[in-house]
């Protein structure tokens, strides 16, 4: 199973959206959602957390997962199992990953994460629509 996550954040108001792409048995499952207001690095962790929650809720635990992120800080923090600035988010992410049979985390360039990036942009625009509904 492959999991791609990405976050999009607007610097003006710190609104964020997540894009999650899961590929299982050759089928794509696309998800987008609003994230809590945050900086881009935090949003990348929150997108990864959301991705693993959806993966586990949809496909159950004990999955072998190739996790792809274009966030170097997420990839490096998972690899080291340490983050000074994002320890709470990392702990949540690692706890979710522990529910999977095995997780291989790999950093990929943004250009290789196009599907999740597009979904994150759409998730960010969900913020625009919800703000207009208030």
DSSP state of 71: -
pLDDT of 14: 82
For residue 121, being part of any structural domain is answered with no
For residues 101-117, average pLDDT = 96
pLDDT value at residue 127? 65
Q: What is the pLDDT of residue 124?
A: 87
Q: Is residue 127 part of a domain?
A: no
118 belongs to a structural domain = no
Rounded to the nearest 5 degrees, what angle is found at the Cα of 123, between the Cα atoms of 119 and 129? 140
Residue 51's CATH number: 3.30.420.10
Is 88 buried (19+), middle (13-18) or exposed (0-12) by CB count in 10 A?
exposed
Exposed / middle / buried, residue 74 (Cβ in 10 Å: 0-12, 13-18, 19+): buried
> Is residue 125 a part of any domain in this protein?
no
Query: Which residue range is the domain that position 97 belongs to?
Result: 2-64+72-107
Highest mean pLDDT among 25-29, 121-125, 126-130: 25-29
Question: Total structural domains in the chain?
Answer: 1
Choose the weakest-confidence range: 20-29, 108-117, 118-127: 118-127
pLDDT tens for each residue of 64-74: 999 999 999 99
Whole-prediction pTM value?
0.93
């Amino acid at each position: 199973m492959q999991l791609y996550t990405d976050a999009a954040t607007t610097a003006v108001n710190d609104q964020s959206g997540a894009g999650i792409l899961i590929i299982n048995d050759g089928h794509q499952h696309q998800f987008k959602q609003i994230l809590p207001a945050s900086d881009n690095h935090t949003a990348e962790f929150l997108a990864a957390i959301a991705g693993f929650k959806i993966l586990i809720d949809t496909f159950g635990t004990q999955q072998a997962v190739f996790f792809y992120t274009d966030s170097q800080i997420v990839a490096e923090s998972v690899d080291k199992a340490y983050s000074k600035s994002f320890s709470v988010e990392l702990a949540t992410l690692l706890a979710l990953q522990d529910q999977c049979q095995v997780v291989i985390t790999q950093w990929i360039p943004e250009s290789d994460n196009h599907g999740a990036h597009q979904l994150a942009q759409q998730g960010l625009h969900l913020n625009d629509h919800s703000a207009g509904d208030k």
